[in-house]
A and B are shown apart, each in its own frame.
Chain A
Amino acid sequence: MKKIFLGAIVAASTFISLASCNNSETPNSSTSISVDLTTNIELKLNMAYGNKDQTVTYQKSNPLTLPDNTVITQGSLKPFWSYLGKQTNTTFKDITIQSQKASEMITTSAATGFTDADIYGGNSIAESLMSYGVQKKFANLTEMMNQGLMPHVKAYLDANPSFKSAITAYDGNIYHLPYIAEVGEFARDYHMRESWVTSLLDNTGGKSYDTDTTLTTYYKGFWVGNNARTGNNGGTVTPKEGVNITKKTNQNIITLMNALPSKNGQALAECLKTYIQNNYDYTKASELYLGEKAAYDIDELVALFRVIKANPKFLTSGKADTVWPYFTRQSSYREELLRFATYFGGVRVHGSDSYSARWEIDANGQIQYTYTKEELYNILNYLSDWNAEGLIFTDTYDSNNKNNFRNQLYFADNAENAKFGFMTFDFTASTTADGGANEPARDIVGVLPPVSKVNGVWQYYIDNSRVIKPDGWAISNQSSDAKKQRAAVIFDYFFTEEGAVLQNYGLPQMLKTDEKFTGPDGKEVPAYNDWTLQTTKEMANGDLSTFLRNFIGALMPVGYAKEIGFEYQYTSERGFNAWKLLQNSTTNIPSYAGTGLQGDNPNYYKLIPPVFSLTERQTETLQNDTTINSDNSLFEVIFNIIRYKTRNDAPASVKLPADYNAYYKLFQDAGIETYISTYQAAYQTMQALNK
């Protein structure tokens, strides 16, 4: 019988090298354990994402015909998984309850002792995978790697020790492989309607501003009084190497606007234009916000928001009476509002990409809870002022509203009763996407973030980057050794070059064989063929990410390192410009290594781990002595402050703390001190393991 050994494959294949890894060293095949791939093995998959379209089974009612004429119909495995099965001589059987949430799947599978499948995966379950791993319910991947299995995973983790420590449980072992999303890259970015800025600020008198919309102002400014932005306090900033922008006076635009006798569209616009003229040496006033020389601070941004709010007819040619200066994509993304905290003197809110990562690392290397900081409470009050002025789209807070506001406020200008939004914080490729043939030309562009004193140093900083996600997969310890070894082969495959290309770009038949695509960073990546681009347009409105995940079965949040190359290939020219703008600027983002301009806190730029490995006792403490994780009304309070505090119009009985002490007491009653000390202990253990 012909035997195929993975070790031999590893040694013989010239194409296998490390994928997406800083270390290009090929793993030593002599240490690899031999895995017999000649026998077909069935692996049961239980991979839940709370969305039937995102499982390994094809769920679309319209069949998909691949370039090789294979027809994929509803209920069959997605082609990625069939292809993977052929490559590894494995039969995959999907036993997932298709729409089940991953957290529910883990709980129900735990009740069966994880005997119903061989591989478990899902989103936001890494903490459970770690926890059950320590209880020996999942295979010990560290042990498997020490035995010589998963050589490419081992090499990847050895080359990226910060990733390794982020997924290591408190007992020193790894039990799951996470979804590593383009770590080190920019994630979300600020976007604006370019034509609104230029028409308002570069208007030389051809068009009349609105005079019938008057604002009532509440916000009093942040860079005011002793904190005025001038001289050493942000007087000169550097958006790009070799480009210095100097603010000439200590004027504050908010103070100037608040002093205006009439705050209509015309008065506010003229005030801002005069202010820019008096303070900066730009050729055009719009340059304060747009392009590589942008140097606006948070007060100057609010000033622009006010001008926009007061000029709805000017901006929409009379189509709308109201426009919304700022919005988030959905109400479930409302925490994005809190990211403005960075620009109020560098207050950190989220220590990672996830909204539930409410931690930062202090100068002593200890994690601290961010939502109970007095600085954050003060920022909520500033945001409340903005809200009272009508600067934030009010449906943003409304968790009952499931609409996609980005579609409504950016991409539906021709609709009857169209609504218009100006700025959002979101992913570049999808936000700057071109519209259809019948739409007006879109003019959404990426912009530099507001400049601020961050970590004691004036700089450009976005407190958001691509990170290791709390999503991933693990192997059941109840499976037979043969199945566990085969699962390990699958896990390892995505860390080979071939497997990484398959995950990141899809099937070989979807790619051009003789051509590469060059990204804005100059890197060459596999290029999609016409079939892929055309079918994506037909079946997924041109969204390659959706097509790859929901139709092909690639890009699922399982253990692999995601690359950005596929995203480049459905990005508009404006999107590329946005990437170039950021990449060529001095803008910094947080990272696991935590590099940045030295300031008050050497750990300021560090990301916190995607999950914490808690002992059973720590888990029990959190469950019995705190309600931080189970009481979502606590976090609603944050948005109640923004919505109601300044206007003082909260409905009766709605929780609205009168001051910081009352705010803190809500957390105290929910057991915040125990919560913090428990997580601090877990973090210390994780740190100790890495020493």
Chain B
Amino acid sequence: MNDMIKMREPKGKKILKGIKKEWQLYLLLIPIILWFLFFAYKPMIGLIVAFERFEPAEGIFGSDMRGLSNFVNIVTGVNREAFWGAFRNTFIISLYGLVFGFPIPIILALLFSEIRSDGYRKILQTITYLPHFLSEVTITGIVITLVYSGVSSTGIVAQLLYSLNLVPAGTKIIETPNYFRPMYIITGIWKESGYNSIVYFAAIMGISPVMYEALKVDGGNKWQEIRYVTLPGMAPTLIIMIIMRIGRMLSVGYERVLLLYHPNTYVTADVLSTLEQRIGIGTGSNQGLGSAIGIFNSVIGFALVISANKISRQISKTSLW
């Protein structure tokens, strides 16, 4: 028995041995660790600002501590209406993104996988990936031009919507609260669905052809191929992606909202990150309040990803960790 205990190697030593053995891999890991340390963990020191009456000239450690007053202010103070409005919008916009934006790349990937001509498929893929590589400023600039309506010019999409009576003629789409969310979601789908389809397309390509052949032998048609082979084969990827998506629910495309919204559309467009920007670094800025909103955003995002991971593990046995 004693001999057996002696034979067991201490854990630390075992790790060291592993590092020594696979040192090349650990060497490659160092830049990633450094990146996380400097760009993900070091900035967290700034979280202190949320508990301070932050004065830039005094710095993070020189400003007066205020405890939880910034949090109390955003939840119950003069900013409460804007905060809860932004909180609601963040969830709604994310939910819309999930419902309408999440399935499109999957459908695209399925369609790509059915194209037999490699050349044709590559052309289509390139066309759908292209908007991803344009900056948000360019994309939103195009969108604003397309839906703009004024004395000087009327965008082609605005003209189309007016002529189809989908929108009353002359309506300023960009300034109308009810049109913001559809505009935001459609812009997101246009920009990202092609690029997001890559991961699903890769998952489909990873499914063994034997499965499809077996289904064919059993007399399965195309729909049954998708239903019984493709989708179950993609399931782990889908679940991982949906968990990650839920984790980012409160981090809706901040730049796109900022570039597309208008003071008249705050009621449907303002999200936590844009409110954080306006209060934190806009006119009459209060960095403490802005940081408090940021922390609030992150804590809820963290809780959501933990919950989604747990639910997924229990239901599908697939999880991030």
> Which residues on A are within 8 Å of B, measured CB to CB?
103-104, 107-108, 110-111, 113-114, 132, 135, 137, 324, 393-395, 398-401, 403, 408, 419, 616, 620, 622-633, 635-636, 640, 651-655, 669-671
**Is B152's beta carbon under 8 Å from chain A?**
yes
Across the interface, do B289 and A623 meet the contact criterion of CB distance under 8 Å? yes
Q: Which 3 interchain pairs have the tightest Cβ spacing?
A: A629-B284, A110-B56, A636-B263
A400, A408, A640, A652: the one contacting B148 at CB < 8 Å is A400
- Give Cα distance in the complex from A91 to B262, angstroms: 45
B163 cross-chain contacts in A, Cβ below 8 A: none
Neighbour of A398 across the interface among B82, B150, B268, B283, CB < 8 A: B150
Residues of A with C-beta under 8 A to B225: none
Return the CB mask of B69-83 against A: 1 if under 8 Å, else 0.
100010001110110
- Which residue in chain B gives the minimum CB-CB distance to A114? B57
Which single member of A111, A632, A653, A671 contacts B78 (CB below 8 Å)? A671
Cα–Cα distance between A112 and B73 once the two chains are bound (Å): 28
Partner of A654, one of B56, B73, B264: B264
The residue from B57, B73, B78, B268 contacting A135, defined by CB atoms under 8 A apart = B57
Which bucket holds chain B's interface residue count?
A: 35 or more
Known: A107-B56, A110-B57, A394-B150. 7 other contacts (CB 8 A): A132-B57, A135-B57, A394-B151, A395-B152, A651-B178, A651-B264, A671-B78
B178 / chain A contacts, CB cutoff of 8 Å: 651-653
Interface residue B286 (Cβ < 8 Å from any Cβ of A)? yes
| B53: Cβ under 8 A from any A Cβ | yes
CB nearest neighbor in A for B284: A629
* Interface residues in B122-140 (C-beta closer than 8 Å to A): none
In the complex, the chain B residue whose C-beta lies closest to that of A408 is B152
B263 and A623 within 8 A (CB): no
Closest to B180 in A: A653
Q: Given the known inter-chain contacts A132-B57, A620-B53, please indicate yes or no for A625 contacting B77, CB distance below 8 A.
A: yes
Contact B267 A624 (CB under 8 A): no
CA distance A652 to B267 in the complex (A): 11
Selected from A107, A114, A616, A653, the residue in CB contact (under 8 A) with B281 is: A107
Please list 5 pairs of residues, one from A and one from B, whose beta carbons are closer than 8 Å in the complex, sorted by A's number: A398-B172, A408-B152, A624-B77, A653-B267, A654-B264
Inter-chain contact A399/B284, CB cutoff 8 Å: no
Given contacts A624-B73, A651-B171, A651-B176, contact A111 B56 (CB under 8 A): yes
In the complex, A636 Cα to B263 Cα: how many Å?
A: 6
A-chain residues with CB within 8 Å of residue B206 when the two chains form the complex? none
Name the distance in Å between B151's Cβ and chain A's nearest Cβ. 5
B282's partner among A403, A630, A654 (CB-CB below 8 A) is A630
B264 touches A640 (CB 8 A): yes
Question: A671–B82 Cα gap in the complex (Å)?
Answer: 13
Chain B residues, CB < 8 A from A113 = 57, 59
Question: Does residue B256 face the partner (Cβ distance < 8 Å to A)?
Answer: no
Instruction: Assess A653 versus B56: contact at CB under 8 Å? Given A627-B78, A631-B82, A640-B264.
Output: no
Tell me which of B56, B69, B262 has the highest count of chain A C-beta atoms within 10 A of its own C-beta.
Answer: B56
| Number of residue pairs spanning A and B whose beta carbons lie under 8 angstroms apart | 109
Does B102 interact with chain A (Cβ within 8 Å)? no
**Chain B, Cβ-Cβ closest to A669:** B81
- Kindly identify, within residues 249 to 267 of chain B, every residue whose CB is under 8 Å from any CB belonging to chain A: 262-264, 266-267
- Give the Cβ gap from B91 to chain A, nearest Cβ, in Å: 18
Q: Are A111 and B59 in touch, CB under 8 angstroms? A: yes
Q: Contact between B150 and A627 (Cβ–Cβ < 8 Å)?
A: no
Closest to B174 in A: A400
Least CB distance from B55 to A in Å reads 8
In Å, the complex CA distance between A394 and B152 comes to 10
B224: CB under 8 A from chain A?
A: no
Q: Nearest Cβ in chain A — how far from B149, in angstroms?
A: 9
Task: Looking at the assembled complex, report how far the CB atom of B191 sits from the nearest CB atom of chain A, in whole angstroms.
Answer: 20
Is B208 part of the contact surface with A, judged by Cβ < 8 Å? no
How far is B176's CA from A575's CA once the two chains are assembled, in angstroms?
41
User: CB-nearest residue of chain B relative to A651?
Assistant: B176
Q: Are B285 and A630 in contact (CB under 8 A)?
A: yes
Which residue of A has the minimal Cβ distance to B286? A623
Q: Within B150-178, which residues are at the interface with A (CB < 8 Å)?
A: 150-152, 171-172, 174-178
Check B57 against A419 for contact (C-beta < 8 Å): no
Q: Does B203 contact A (CB under 8 A)?
A: no
**Complex: how many Å from CA A113 to CA B264?**
38
Contacts of B283 in A (CB 8 A): 103, 629-630, 632
Report the nearest B residue to A417, measured CB to CB: B152
- In the assembled complex, B146 has its CB within 8 A of some CB on chain A: no
Q: Given A398-B172, A626-B78, A640-B264, A651 and B177 touching (CB < 8 A)?
A: yes
Question: For residue A616, which residue of chain B has the nearest CB?
Answer: B55
Alpha-carbon gap, A622 to B144, bound state (A): 34
- Given A624-B289, A629-B284, decide whether A395 and B263 contact each other with a Cβ distance below 8 A: no
* B108 close to chain A: CB less than 8 A: no
A294, B289: Cα distance in complex, Å: 54
**Cα distance, A277 to B152, chains bound together (Å):** 38
A199→B85 CA distance, assembly (Å):
55
Q: How far is the CB of B154 from chain A (nearest CB, A)?
A: 12
B-side contacts of A401, CB under 8 Å: 148, 150, 152
The residues of B that contact A628 with a CB separation of less than 8 Å are 284
Interface centre among A132, A135, A623 (most CB of B within 10 A): A623
Say yes or no: B264 contacts A636, CB within 8 Å: yes
Q: Within the complex, what minimum Cβ distance (angstroms) separates A140 from chain B? A: 16
Chain A residues contacting B59 (CB-CB under 8 Å) are: 111, 113
Q: Which residue of B lies closest to A620 (CB)?
A: B53
Tell me whether A419 and B175 are in contact (CB under 8 A).
no
Q: Is the CB of B150 within 8 A of A395?
A: yes
Considering the complex, give the chain B residue whose CB is closest to the CB of A419.
B151
Whether the pair A632, B57 counts as a contact (CB closer than 8 A) is: no
Query: Which of B171, B264, B284 lies in contact with A623, CB distance below 8 A?
Result: B284
Interface centre among A135, A398, A624, A630 (most CB of B within 10 A): A630
In the bound complex, what is the Cα–Cα distance between A630 and B53 (angstroms)?
Answer: 17
> Would B176 and A654 count as touching, CB distance under 8 A?
yes
Specify which chain B residues have a CB less than 8 angstroms from the CB of A654 in the assembled complex.
175-177, 264
Bound-state CA distance A622–B285 (Å) is 10
The interface residues of chain B lying within 8 Å CB-to-CB of A655 are 264, 267
- The reply on B279 being an interface residue by CB < 8 A is yes
B278 at the interface (CB under 8 A from A): yes
Closest B-chain residue to A107, C-beta based? B56
Residues of B within 8 A of A626 (CB): 78
Residues of B within 8 A of A636 (CB): 262-264
Contacts of B286 in A (CB 8 A): 623-624, 630
Residue ID in chain A nearest B266 by CB atoms: A633
Question: Which of A104, A627, A631, A670 neighbours the largest number of chain B CB atoms within 10 Å of its CB?
Answer: A631
B14-32 CB contacts (< 8 Å) to partner A: none
Neighbour of A651 across the interface among B79, B82, B148, B175, CB < 8 A:
B175
B57 — which chain A residues lie within 8 A by C-beta?
Answer: 110-111, 113-114, 132, 135, 137
